[in-house]
Amino acid sequence: MWITIAALLSPLLNFLTGKRIPGVVFMLVLGVIIGPEVLDLARNDGSISLLRELGLGMLFLLAGWEIEPEAMRGRFGTSALMTWAASLATAFCVGLVVYGADDVLISVVLAIAVSSTAMGTLLPVIKNAGRDDSPVGKGVLVHGAIGELGPIFAMALLLSTRATWLTLLILIIFQAGALVVAFLPKTVSRLVPWVGRAVKDGASHTSQTVMRAVMVLLTMLMAMAAVFELDVVLGAFAAGIILRALVPPRARKTTEARLDVMGYGLFIPVFFITSGMAIKLDAVIEYMWAPFVGIVLIFIARGLPIFLVERYTKTGSGLVGLRDQLELSLYSATGLPIIVAVTEIAVERDLLSETQASLLVCSGVGTVLLFPLLASIVHQKLPAPPDDGGEDKDKAEREAADEHEEFKQTKTRVHIADAVKQIDSEVPKPKPKPKSTTVAEHEITIDDED
């Protein structure tokens, strides 16, 4: 009960703050409050653990769903990939300096965590700021895709207990299995046509066959990842990519809306709230300075390389001004879901202590709280690029879009009117009644019968 109450309170508190503080932050904080560290009203055991796993799966399924392969091709995609690799290397070197060469795996965990981007968390923030269709918003999508895809594969490859070559071989086998799963729906619909018709028929009714098929896809790939002793987030992420490829473009908005309802309605809030319940509050209070150091480290490792690459090289992103480049670096350095997932895996494998994991998660919370706010301030205070008209250009673009829409509506009305006239002209007119040649029309009478 308390977990569901916390899930409801988080968007209400988000609304009270003018949506400046993302709901994820409130879910984690409320998780700490209702968890064993404060009020001890809820615990992560039994059926809650299953919901938590499904929440983790839905979170990364939606992250995979957001991946657009077209946007990742070309110079900008290559630049984003190289920038992420630089972020990973930078964070790893910092980890070696802090922890020494004896704890290489801790440095690997740190590098994977701080080189990530919380694309799923950033999307609503960017949309609320009206930046989703701008070069900054498009840049965040590309860097966010790389910042989620890269750490997931790095987790599977670098945090495995097996030899690297064997893990790589297993990843290839898993990819082949995922491709088989991807072709399964179309194969079944061709071999057994009535199954496809049944799925379409029940898609919008109480059967909700499409959403049930999504859960089958998600759990199947998560189970496959578990069988190969890979991280289940890899299976969930693959499920999201496959799902986007299977759904036709005309049905994607409807499918995405239903996925949001299913994921953000229950499963994902449970995951974040239970993650908050796992935070060790005593450790955070004892090492109060550590999260602030972590926030600076995350920006140095993730945000700074993006800013420098955008500032001094041609990436193909279309960003030319200091304002937009700073915005992109701040947004892209925001990371929380991957940090939570990586630290959870690291704690399970005894690579991190619960204290270290709690401090790292708090650093992630700080980036979600601070970096989007700083990006908004940068957008308001710094001047627009010289070749960008700023607000005047945005206004002109909106007016042009409105005029174009009005022109299309007028053209449609003209086409409809022409079609109606053509139909009227083709309808045969009633023939006139034949007139009698012997009796005038006014002389015709009907006599009563006797």
Q: pLDDT tens digit string along 19-74?
A: 777 788 888 889 989 988 888 888 877 788 888 888 888 888 887 887 777 767 77
For 257-289, write each residue's pLDDT tens digit.
888 888 888 888 998 898 888 778 887 888 888
CA proximity to 81, closest of 144, 156, 126, 137: 144
Q: Using an 8 Å Cβ cutoff, are 135 and 319 in contact? A: yes
Q: What is the pLDDT of residue 299?
A: 92
Q: Using an 8 Å Cβ cutoff, are 354 and 166 in contact? A: no
Instruction: Report the pLDDT averaged over residues 99-120.
Output: 83
Burial class (CB in 10 A: 0-12, 13-18, 19+), 213: middle
Q: What is the pLDDT of residue 429?
A: 55
CA–CA dist 435, 439 (Å, integer): 9
Q: In Å, how far are 21, 97, 300, 326, 406 from 303, measured between CA atoms?
A: 20, 20, 6, 9, 42
Q: Using an 8 Å Cβ cutoff, are 347 and 128 in contact? A: no
Q: What is the pLDDT of residue 419?
A: 62
CATH class in words for 45-388: mainly alpha
Task: Indicate the range of 76-85, 115-124, 383-392 predicted with least confidence.
Answer: 383-392
- pLDDT > 70: percent of the chain: 84
pTM for this entry:
0.73
CA–CA dist 72, 323 (Å, integer): 23
For 327-340, write each residue's pLDDT tens digit.
999 999 988 878 88
Domain boundaries, the chain: 45-388
| pLDDT averaged over every residue in the chain | 80
Instruction: Report the pLDDT averaged over residues 304-333.
Output: 87
Task: Indicate the range of 182-191, 195-204, 396-405 predicted with least confidence.
Answer: 396-405
Q: What is the pLDDT of residue 296?
A: 92
Q: For the chain, what percentages of helix, strand and coil (3-state, to nearest 5) are there?
A: 75, 0, 25
User: 228: how many CB neighbours lie within 10 A of its CB?
Assistant: 16
CA–CA dist 410, 428 (Å, integer): 30
Q: Which two tokens stand for residue 102?
A: 């004896």
pLDDT band of 204, cuts 50, 70, 90? confident
Is 401 or 189 the better-scoring residue by pLDDT?
A: 189
DSSP secondary structure letters along 317-361: S---SHHHHHHHHHHHT---HHHHHHHHHHHHTTSS-HHHHHHHH
Q: What is the pLDDT of residue 391?
A: 47
Is 64 or 203 the better-scoring residue by pLDDT?
A: 64
Instruction: Report the pLDDT averaged over residues 298-314.
Output: 90
Is 450 or 138 the better-scoring residue by pLDDT?
A: 138
Q: What is the pLDDT of residue 286?
A: 84
> 72 CB contacts (<8 Å, ≥6 apart)?
80, 142, 145, 146
CA–CA dist 25, 315 (Å, integer): 32
pLDDT band of 179, cuts 50, 70, 90? confident
DSSP assignment letter at 433: P
Is 438 or 191 the better-scoring residue by pLDDT?
A: 191
Task: Please say if the pLDDT value at position 440 is more than 60.
Answer: no
Task: Please say if the pLDDT value at position 402 is more than 70.
Answer: no
Q: Which two tokens stand for residue 35?
A: 């968890």
pLDDT band of 298, cuts 50, 70, 90? very high
CA proximity to 145, closest of 91, 218, 84: 84
pLDDT band of 450, cuts 50, 70, 90? very low
CA proximity to 317, closest of 151, 145, 134, 147: 134
Give the phi and the psi of residue 435 in degrees, each rounded to 5. Answer: -95, 145
Q: Using an 8 Å Cβ cutoff, are 301 and 91 in contact? A: yes
Task: Please say if the pLDDT value at position 449 is more than 50.
Answer: no
Q: Using an 8 Å Cβ cutoff, are 334 and 315 in contact? A: no
Burial class (CB in 10 A: 0-12, 13-18, 19+), 11: middle
Give the phi and the psi of residue 169 in degrees, each rounded to 5. Answer: -65, -40
CA proximity to 221, closest of 48, 52, 61, 349: 61
CA–CA dist 128, 132 (Å, integer): 9
